[in-house]
Structure 1
Amino acid sequence: MKAYELVVYPERCHGCGNCVVSCPVNAKHPETWGGKGPYSDDVVIRVENGVVTVVNQDLCGGCGACIEACPVNAIELVFKRK
């Protein structure tokens, strides 16, 4: 189990897709460059219905690239207590 969780605040997100294209896990998919993200389950995040959605928490490496790319602070890593 990871010591952190990627959390999205949908009320802040406006679906720009910056986080999707900045994610190194998502970068292996050519469809990512449109900002919407691939429709497979082997991505961390993608934009669905106008907001970013965490698709596969287990693939997140905790690098924070998506957090840095978000202009409205809609994403954060929350560290869990042991």
Structure 2
Amino acid sequence: MNGVDPVAREVFEQAAVVAALLDGEVPVEQLDCGCSRIRVDLAGADRLVEGEIVQHLARAATRFGGHSSSGIDDRRDLWAEFHTATCTGQPT
């Protein structure tokens, strides 16, 4: 296992897949509980690519969701959280 947390490996692998689909960067954020989240703005993404990303992350993430807004700040945010099996959701 090389001492690498499997959840940490998974989140970075998923971020790399999404980054490749978007042809850009996808940051990985650390949550208060110590687990990780990927958050991306899909407003500029092709709808087919967006659908592929949604399906991909929905299968892989522990929690998954999104939000869209229209108007001046046209955004389509998508987030995916990756929690360890022992996570309580409480800050570490």
1 or 2, which has the higher helix percentage?
Answer: 2
**What is the TM-score when the length of structure 1 is the normalising length?**
0.35
Instruction: Give the number of the structure whose alpha-carbon radius of gyration is greater.
Output: 2
Bigger strand share: 2
Higher relative contact order (CA 8 A, sep 6+): 1
